[in-house]
Amino acid sequence: MFEPAILVLADGSVFHGKSIGYSGHTIGEVVFNTAMTGYQEILTDPSYTYQIVTLTYPHIGNTGTTEEDEEATKPHAAGLIIRDLPLIHSNFRSHSSLSDYLVKHKIVAIADIDTRRLTRILRDKGAQAGCILVGTDEAKALELAKSFGSMAGKDLAKEVSCQELYQWTEGEWHLPVSNGGKAFNDQENAEFHIVAYDYGVKRNILRMLAERGCRITVVPAKTSAQAVLALNPDGIFLSNGPGDPEPCDYAIESIKTLLATKKPLFGICLGHQLLGLAVGGKTKKMAFGHHGANHPVQDLDSNKVLITSQNHGFEVDEASLPANVRVTHRSLFDHSVQGIELTDQSAFSFQGHPEASPGPNDVAYLFDRFIDELRKAKQSA
Ligand SMILES: NC(=O)CC[C@H](N)C(=O)O
């Protein structure tokens, strides 16, 4: 039996539903995601820390959950809001139902919510704080929702980052094969050594780099540039991650020092925003951000339109960028900056998610571009 639960937004909007997860309450910034599939990758993406995600697709949970689809060691989203949880789930890869998974990982979640009404509120008023509470105490839920404040000013990358450096060896998955689909890269004969800053990295990014011949050392967010250079990398990767990029001064300082070495550098999402800040630009909070797997973005060099995976609430402020930075990609939803490149050295970044997971692979070519840059740098060294 599902217990009654409520969702209350900081603006006072109240929604009644049923609890499909852990009993208790949760608070965070409520954001909507328009992806039709990939709920487990979304829940486990560390960039969703302190965010309660509502999925606009109405049927969530149909394929159950599997340990193979985790983007991190555990779910990071602060909560989940859906329209309809199916009575049965069915998939040959499934280990448990979505509801059992949510309970096991202590994630508070609510179903039977009018997610269209909720999404319209978020679209019109902007992302806002909210509380899911199992029970019916609306006054308490409102007070809790208001206590969250704003995502602006929150440095969360250091909270979700790994504590110690480690080596990543797993390549992309190729189903079906006898070892479960996992490919492991050949550490000894890897063509390049990459140091990847973990600000909340998604596993599929590391897989796609490993697949392309990189030996990867993943380092904690606060690792100094000097410590990174002591590892003698061929290139630097800046990961995605939660929260506001602006307070991450430790990261911005390290990136400045690393840029001075002219080693090839590639950033994704939070990493893209941190690169923008390190070159002297600014970032700003968006009204409700981009969260989904169907966002059109234009590559301004090829003019091609790419369908992309997105998950961000901040953006690089184009007007703040210095003369040596070129905008390479633009969102066709709101024309915001989706990619930048330094014109005087090999450093570039993308605001969306080239690794998808979930989402289409239209932007995977940026991983190939990074490999080309690494190869060029190695040949000219
Ligand atoms: N996925 C990400 O890396 C998100 C970056 C940043 N936390 C934002 O919301 O804009």
Is the same domain home to 240 and 347?
A: yes
pLDDT value of position 186: 72
Question: Distance, CA 92 to ligand 1 centroid (Å)?
Answer: 33
| Ligand 1 site, residue 314, Cβ cutoff 6 A | yes
Instruction: Return the ligand 1 atom nearest residue 151 CA.
Output: 9
Q: Is the dihedral of CA 347, 249, 313, 97 positive or negative?
A: positive
Residues 306, 368 share a domain: yes
d(CA 262, CA 269): 21
The single residue of 29, 248, 353, 373 carrying the catalytic annotation is 353
Domain containing residue 77:
4-148
Residues 137 and 196 reside in one and the same domain: no
Three-state secondary structure call for residue 328: strand
- Please name the helix (run of DSSP H) or strand (run of DSSP E) that holds residue 9, with its range, or none: strand 4-9
Q: Are 271 and 349 in contact (CB under 8 A)?
A: yes
DSSP string, 193-222: EEEEEESS--HHHHHHHHHTTEEEEEEETT
CA distance 98 to 20: 8
Same domain, 67 and 170: no
Look at residue 381 in the predicted model and tell me its pLDDT.
82
Determine the Cα–Cα distance for residues 208 and 205; give it in Å rounded to an integer.
5
CA of 289 from ligand 1 middle (Å) equals: 9
What ranges in 177-310 are assigned the alpha helix state H? 203-211, 225-230, 249-260, 270-278
Same domain, 134 and 160: no
Annotated ligand binding at 313? The verdict is yes
Tokens 């980052």 correspond to 161
| Same domain (yes/no): 222, 103 | no
Interval 275-330: pLDDT, tens: 999 999 999 999 999 999 999 999 999 999 999 999 999 999 999 999 999 999 99
Number of folded domains that form the chain? 2
99 lines ligand 1 (CB under 6 A): no
Does residue 76 sit in the same domain as residue 219?
Answer: no
Asked if residue 283 and residue 207 are part of one domain, the reply reads yes
Read off the tokens for 56.
Answer: 């606009």
Q: What are the start-end ranges of the E strands in 46-201?
A: 51-55, 79-81, 109-111, 128-134, 166-168, 192-198
Ligand 1: centre distance to CA 139 (Å): 31
Point out the ligand 1 atom lying closest to the alpha carbon of residue 157: 7
Q: Are residues 311 and 176 in the same domain?
A: yes
Catalytic residue status for 290: no
Q: Do residue 132 and residue 36 come from a single domain?
A: yes
Find the CATH number of the domain harbouring 165.
Answer: 3.40.50.880
Which residues are within 8 A (CB) of 124 and not within 5 positions of it... i.e. 6 or more apart? none
Q: Return the pLDDT at 175.
A: 67
Tokens of 252: 């911005």
In the sheet that 214-220 helps form, which strands lie side by side, from edge to edge? 166-168, 214-220, 192-198, 235-238, 265-268, 347-350, 337-342, 325-331, 282-299, 305-317
Nearest to 357 by CA among 179, 183, 207: 207
CA dist., res. 354 & res. 212, Å (int)? 14
DSSP assignment, residue 49? B
Q: Is the ipTM of this complex over 0.85?
A: yes
Q: In the structure encoding, which two tokens stand for residue 260, read together?
A: 């001075």
Domain limit, last residue, from 119, 148, 177 = 148
pLDDT at 228: 98
* Chain centroid, CA 33 distance in Å: 12
Nearest to 39 by CA among 66, 7, 6: 66
Ligand 1 pocket mutation pick from 150, 288, 312 by most atoms within 8 angstroms of CB: 312
Residues of the chain with pLDDT under 50: none
Indicate the SS3 state at residue 14.
strand
CATH value at residue 40 = 3.50.30.20
Query: Given its phi and psi angles, is residue 24 left (phi above 0), alpha (psi -120 to 50 degrees) or beta?
Result: left
Q: Which atom of ligand 1 is nearest to the CA of 353?
A: 1
Q: Domain end: 121, 148, 175, which one?
A: 148
Residues 225 and 332 in one domain: yes
On whether both 299 and 367 belong to a single domain, the answer is: yes
Domain boundary among 148, 169, 199: 148
Global pTM reads 0.97
